[in-house]
Structure 1
Amino acid sequence: MNTTALLEIRETVKNLLGVEFQRAKLLPPQIRSTEQRAHGTAKRLNFKTQDGSNIAAILLEPTGANSESPSPAVLYCHAHGARYDIGINELIDGRPALINPYVDDLLALGLVVLCIEMPCFGARAHPEESAASKTALWFGKTLFGQMLAELSAGLDYLSDLSHVDCARIGTLGISMGGTHAWWLAALDTRIKAAAHLCCFADLQSLVKLGNHDNHGHYMTVPGLLATCSSGQLAGLIAPRAQFCGVGLQDWSSPPDAFKIAQDELIKAYENTPTMLSFHIEPDVGHEETPAMRAAVLTFLKRRLIARAL
């Protein structure tokens, strides 16, 4: 697929999402609390949007972070799992799908990390996801678009921090968070590396299997499959770095559906194959394993900590 066609896919998908990314702005946050961790601090923030909405967030800052030697950063995207009560707390407290929280691992790498709470989760639990999704669709928008626009605004905030190296910002997440991590990287070229777990498969194949119905309402994007496949969309990240971790017993990445998306993604990286990496476990379901965690941390070290991007 030529460069023009790829750019057209990116713009078409943005239009399908029904949200103008540049209009989602976060005002300077209020610091609600600061917790000392072994390798830095965890600050709980409250952002206000231009329309007066409140958005909770967590900001991790490693020990020694300063503007003289800016740190690499990660926009951490929290998962779904029908646990609307968890939200951003996943970063500090973990969730059943993770082997343990990411907070200390990411701080130990020297990463500045921002996690912002998505609509329908945590303090934003109302309206519920079904109602929020339907409302957005009736107005020609999508809940997924709102989520991605807010994450892009979070990226604006990270990029503007004096102690962050805006040339070394990545995304990371599992499940819904993983989907957010690679979609945002496909649509926002400021992201230099995307790591996603338990969320990658050919959507048309999932529809045939009926597995698509396990995804939340948030992920409904009318007209998407008439525009591109998962592999083509994730291929927009190329030649930037991308890591994909899956278990083949996962309902969201069954072998045949994953293989189609994987092959398309490999094709997108045919000129820069070393920038794409996979961690595949045949006997694992919708969960992270210790080997996946180790692979993610190795990827982040190589692509964000090192300067060879």
Structure 2
Amino acid sequence: MLIASFCCRPVSGQQTRQANNILYYLHGEAAAITNNFSPEDISPDEWKKLRPEYYHQFIEMMGFSMDKIRTPPTVTLTGTVQEDGYKIEKFYYASSPGLYVPGNLYIPDGIQSPRPAVLYLCGHAHGQKAHYQAHARRLAELGFVVLIFDTLQFGEVWGHHWGPYNQGWFHWYSRGYNPAAVELWNAIRGLDYLSTRKEVDMDNIGVTGISGGGSQSWYMAAADPRIKAAAPVCGAGTLDSQVGERRIDGHCDCMMPNNGFQIGFQEIGALIAPRALLIAQSDQDELYGMASTRDFYQKLSDFYTQFEAGDNVSLVATPGGHSYHETSRKAIFSFFLHHLMGKNIPPQQLEDIESNPSKLLPEERLKVYGESPPDGDLTPVIQDHFIEMPSPPTITDEEDLKKLRRKVKDYLLTRTFGAFPKEPTALDGKKIYQTADLAPFGNSTFSFTSEKGWRLKLNVFYRKPPEEKHPLVIILRSPGEERWDSEGFAQKVAKGQNVAYLEVRGTGEVGWAPELNWHVRRAAAWTGRTIASMQVYDAFRALTFARTLPGVDPEKISIAARDGMTAIALYAAFLDEQCEEVILQNPPGTHDQPSPKSGRDFPLEMLNVLRITDLYQLPALISPTRVVFEGEVPEAFNWSREILEKTGRPPFTMPG
């Protein structure tokens, strides 16, 4: 049967193949973030207005507040080592209750008045403060007070720096947790401690480190205005290079914030300006492309020039891989002497670090703890405590539920789904083909554009005359499903109704090899989205498109899904606000669950979602859309059941 009211222009297979490529798409989105912010084109007056918002977004993505009242941390001294020209105090401090940070403070001998200080932030090497002691030692010999402390991983107490990276803890994204936040907070609290020391001149504070310590040097200088000079080493590159060249695959999870606001390193660098900044980068670094670093530096340099501070930013390029070089080390020493002490000593006139292991202290001499860390140390489990998850909201009446729905939607649209296109792409619906078979009134396959670069299909089986308006049930196909699985599901939940089958990104024709999932999940988060949030957008757009189709009653569209895809159905309905019914089979009750290390399960994570809601709350939030469970109702959903009963709304139901 022909449906003359709908456009029948075919879509070529070549057109589809050129789109629907997840790697190409993510690279394009990373490039858009990189190019979206051009600091060289922003005047100082404009930046004065823009900076507070960028700063707030950066700090929020890190997972804490700089506004809360802080007192100096509690410090416990455990020993002192006297060396030639300086001493090393061994101590630990409580960065937050239960989070203990073991550190060494290098103090030059004979201090008569406050001295400039440098925070040395360790990279991810075994031994941490012992491994990098030569840098702290040399800075102390030059007259600086130096604080160096362990990171979460590879120090005296091992925590987890690698969650999504090698543990399968992609639910960190849903929590809004990133180990970079803990490291940054520890550094800020370390500086709070230094502010109590009479030996330290708080008007002249520097920060430096390599690799993870390099990225942390960027973060610390951007976050804390007490930093006067920063010298990150092998710690920054543009996002398009990171994603497009897949350099992120070698990175720890801390090397980029959970990017709910879609910022790049340009914004972080701009937050440092016009304070002194030295970027040190090796030219054959596996983790950072030199070309991207040079481009990044040039943009920042132009930005600094507008502040009449062009001399405050510089780049030192060194030969080799992801490592220090004598040239970069001496340049950093000269840089700090100039900007923190007012001494102009060329790098070539300075001595390098001590590289002979026999002349350095053994790790045991620098250890802070004895047989064990302090009782109650949260370092190994800080990922479960650093960001406090909200308790289920208390709802007493209909007005409470309306307020909660508005609050959740506003939050999700800015922090979880913020990467949705600001202006939706035209749906550009087309009919690919139709048959007189497979359903009483035939089958038509349509295509539409969900988002630029993604052309999806909606396969409609007409069990009712298409000349009339009838209800439609959209079935979300699941990744990796067996043939006829969705059709069998439809027979249970949509008997006699018009049915459409949808493949969202990550499934069917718009899927990708399972072994890519690990990369895609991490790369997507760096660009401010997740696989699940992209799938939600696809399903949401499909609902809009379905209302334009012949034979469809636009007020009677339902969406049905199984297993992990039920989360996609619920959020799509929540955003759509017009679904008649959502049908769920075997839904998960929460986003807060880990994955296998390979990342080859259903990706439930959505950035920051657990800071505001969880899956079990969605049936109440989408009301008056009805929720039907095919099979048992997981216990977690009792919260929504109780809220619906309390507010007098129709409860969710079982089929039949």
Q: Which TM-score tier does this pair reach, normalised by the shorter chain?
A: 0.7 to 0.9
Shift of 1:307: 8.0
Say which SS state the counterpart of residue 132 (structure 2) adopts. Answer: helix
In structure 2, C-alpha distance between the alignment counterparts of 1:228 and 1:198, rounded to whole Å? 20
Per the alignment, residue 230 of structure 1 pairs with 265
The one-letter code sitting in structure 1 at the alignment partner of 2:104 is: I
What is the RMSD computed on CA atoms of the aligned residues? 2.2
Match of 2:317 among 256, 267, 280: 280
In structure 2, C-alpha distance between the alignment counterparts of 1:187 and 1:276, rounded to whole Å? 18
Shift of 1:263: 2.0
Larger Rg, first or second structure (1 or 2): 2
Q: Is the 8 A contact 2:94 2:100 kept in 1?
A: yes
**More displaced stretch, 3-12 vs 189-198:** 3-12
Per the alignment, residue 102 of structure 1 pairs with 135
Say which SS state the counterpart of residue 227 (structure 2) adopts. Answer: coil
Match of 1:64 among 102, 110, 113: 110
Shift of 1:128: 5.7
Per the alignment, residue 16 of structure 1 pairs with 61
In structure 2, C-alpha distance between the alignment counterparts of 1:77 and 1:196, rounded to whole Å? 9
1:245 equivalent to 2:280? Answer yes
Per the alignment, residue 205 of structure 2 pairs with 169
1:157 equivalent to 2:190? Answer no
**More displaced stretch, 295-304 vs 212-221:** 212-221
Shift of 1:302: 0.2
Shift of 1:220: 4.3
> Unaligned stretches of 5+ in structure 1?
93-100
Per the alignment, residue 119 of structure 1 pairs with 152
Per the alignment, residue 179 of structure 2 pairs with 143
In structure 1, C-alpha distance between the alignment counterparts of 2:224 and 2:160, rounded to whole Å? 28
Q: Is the 8 A contact 1:235 1:264 kept in 2?
A: no
Per the alignment, residue 132 of structure 2 pairs with 91
The one-letter code sitting in structure 1 at the alignment partner of 2:236 is: F
1:73 equivalent to 2:117? Answer yes
In structure 2, C-alpha distance between the alignment counterparts of 1:265 and 1:163, rounded to whole Å? 34
Per the alignment, residue 502 of structure 2 pairs with none
Give CA deviations for 1:181-208 in whole Å, capped at 9, x if unaligned. 1211011111000011111211222110
Shift of 1:260: 2.5
The one-letter code sitting in structure 1 at the alignment partner of 2:186 is: E
> Unaligned stretches of 5+ in structure 2?
1-41, 345-656
Q: Is the 8 A contact 1:77 1:115 kept in 2?
A: yes
Shift of 1:49: 4.1
Shift of 1:28: 2.7
In structure 2, C-alpha distance between the alignment counterparts of 1:186 and 1:47, rounded to whole Å? 23
Q: Is the 8 A contact 2:266 2:296 kept in 1?
A: yes
Q: Is the 8 A contact 2:95 2:185 kept in 1?
A: no
Match of 2:293 among 258, 275, 278: 258
Give CA deviations for 1:257-299 in whole Å, capped at 9, x if unaligned. 2122112211221121111121112x32111111111111110
The one-letter code sitting in structure 2 at the alignment partner of 1:119 is: L
Shift in CA distance, 171/230, structure 1 to aligned 2, threshold 3 Å: same
Q: How do residues 266-305 of structure 1 correspond to structure 2 at under 5 angstroms?
A: 266-270=301-305, 271-281=308-318, 283-305=319-341
Shift in CA distance, 242/145, structure 1 to aligned 2, threshold 3 Å: same
Give CA deviations for 1:149-187 in whole Å, capped at 9, x if unaligned. 111111111122121110001101111111111211011
Match of 2:214 among 171, 178, 181: 178
Q: Is the 8 A contact 2:106 2:137 kept in 1?
A: no
In structure 2, C-alpha distance between the alignment counterparts of 1:143 and 1:25, rounded to whole Å? 23
Match of 2:227 among 191, 202, 215: 191
Structure with the larger RCO, 1 or 2 (CA within 8 Å, 6+ apart): 1
Shift in CA distance, 144/23, structure 1 to aligned 2, threshold 3 Å: farther
Counting aligned pairs with the same residue, the percent is 26
Aligned length: 293
Say which SS state the counterpart of residue 119 (structure 1) adopts. Answer: coil
Say which SS state the counterpart of residue 189 (structure 1) adopts. Answer: coil
**More displaced stretch, 46-55 vs 174-183:** 46-55
Shift of 1:222: 2.4
Say which SS state the counterpart of residue 102 (structure 1) adopts. Answer: helix
Match of 1:27 among 68, 73, 97: 73
Give CA deviations for 1:48-88 in whole Å, capped at 9, x if unaligned. 3442232201101011124xx100001110001xx3x3222
Q: Is the 8 A contact 2:161 2:253 kept in 1?
A: no
The one-letter code sitting in structure 1 at the alignment partner of 2:130 is: N
Q: Is the 8 A contact 1:61 1:113 kept in 2?
A: yes
Say which SS state the counterpart of residue 33 (structure 1) adopts. Answer: strand
Shift of 1:41: 0.6
Q: Is the 8 A contact 1:251 1:286 kept in 2?
A: yes
In structure 2, C-alpha distance between the alignment counterparts of 1:191 and 1:264, rounded to whole Å? 22
Q: Is the 8 A contact 1:72 1:112 kept in 2?
A: yes
